[in-house]
Chains A and B, each alone.
Chain A
Amino acid sequence: MLLDPRGPRFAAAVTTVVLAAALITGSLALVLTQAVVFAVTAASPRLGPYALAYRALVAPRLDPPAEREPAAPVRFAQLVGLAFMLLAAVGHLAGLPALALTATAAALAAAFLNAAFDFCLGCEAYLALRRLTGRPVPARVPTGPA
């Protein structure tokens, strides 16, 4: 599946506004709304609410895309966003405002970097995480008798 790359960027801009509003108002409803948006977009990038808004409102006013990009990085980024939103929701519900604020702020930073600099924080961190977690088998096994 290939996407018009401006769609995810538009979605990141909307996400930035929603998350900033969530931080300022401390609203659990906004956090949950954004979590649902992340979940739907991860499941189907073209049917994400912000993607629908992009195609209905923005795309008709723009030229057709010069190139398209694969959907896999976009879906992965949405999953990372969803993870942060779930953490934030847990923070809200468990009475841990620091957790809610930190998780929402991290998601805000990632969405803003995506919107303003076309920089996908989750995608960049992906290989570093795999490096640290996916250890080669020999490193786990103690050396045998000499």
Chain B
Amino acid sequence: MGADLVLWHPGPVRDQTLTGVLLVVGVLGLATCFGWWRRRRDGRLRSVAPAAGAGTGPGAPQDAHRALLARLGARSGAVTLVQFSSAVCAPCRAARRVLEQVEAVVPGVVLVEVDAEQHLDAVRELDVWRTPTVLVVDPAGRVVLRASGVPVRDELVAAVAPLLAGADR
């Protein structure tokens, strides 16, 4: 019985081990939740609503973005896919491939790849927080959709085609 007491006495070594085990379990559990959440959201297209009451008129944010996007290479009259990339970004290559597939399937799509580090002003202005981020710019020069992460090809094709149909009319 005395031996049991000694064995189960929580000494410094056991404390350390218990803390470590709890920490490992907690970290792996939280990371798993985060990983699942991220995987569900990653690369999904979100529509960009024009800011309330600021969508029209000179000096509206959309107009400021229009000039900035044109500087980056967005072509008016075409649908431009602007991809923000960086050197330390493994999925950027995959995103680039998806955009090239969209370009091949949908005629009239222009691709622009921007090195985020070289354009930190644009990164802030356009609220880009990670690479890859893809902005879909309509023929009028407005950002209508965006995705952070590698977009899904079919989702992107389905979203881009109607924008081009509008440009033809």
- The interface size of chain A toward B, counting residues with CB under 8 Å, comes to 33
Q: Is B8 close to A, CB under 8 A?
A: no
CB pair B89 A73 closer than 8 Å: yes
CB pair B88 A23 closer than 8 Å: no
CB pair B27 A108 closer than 8 Å: yes
Chain A neighbourhood of B46, CB < 8 A: none
Chain A neighbourhood of B24, CB < 8 A: 20, 23-24, 108
Q: Is B35 close to A, CB under 8 A?
A: yes
Which DSSP category, helix, strand, loop or mixed, fits chain A's interface?
A: helix
On chain B, which size bracket covers the interface?
A: 20 to 34
Binds A, one of B59-67, B102-110, B113-121, B151-159: B113-121
Cα–Cα distance between A126 and B154 once the two chains are bound (Å): 29
Cα–Cα distance between A4 and B24 once the two chains are bound (Å): 29
CB pair A72 B123 closer than 8 Å: no
In the complex with contacts A26-B20, A116-B35, A119-B38, A126-B86 CB distance below 8 A = yes
CB pair B31 A109 closer than 8 Å: yes
Which DSSP category, helix, strand, loop or mixed, fits chain B's interface?
A: helix
Cα–Cα distance between A61 and B39 once the two chains are bound (Å): 29
CB pair A5 B90 closer than 8 Å: yes
CB pair B27 A109 closer than 8 Å: yes
**Whole-angstrom distance from the CB of B82 to the nearest CB of chain A?**
15
CB < 8 Å neighbour of A105 from B16, B27, B130: B27
Cα–Cα distance between A94 and B86 once the two chains are bound (Å): 37
CB pair B20 A25 closer than 8 Å: yes
**Whole-angstrom distance from the CB of A14 to the nearest CB of chain B?**
15
Cα–Cα distance between A126 and B91 once the two chains are bound (Å): 14
CB pair B93 A69 closer than 8 Å: yes
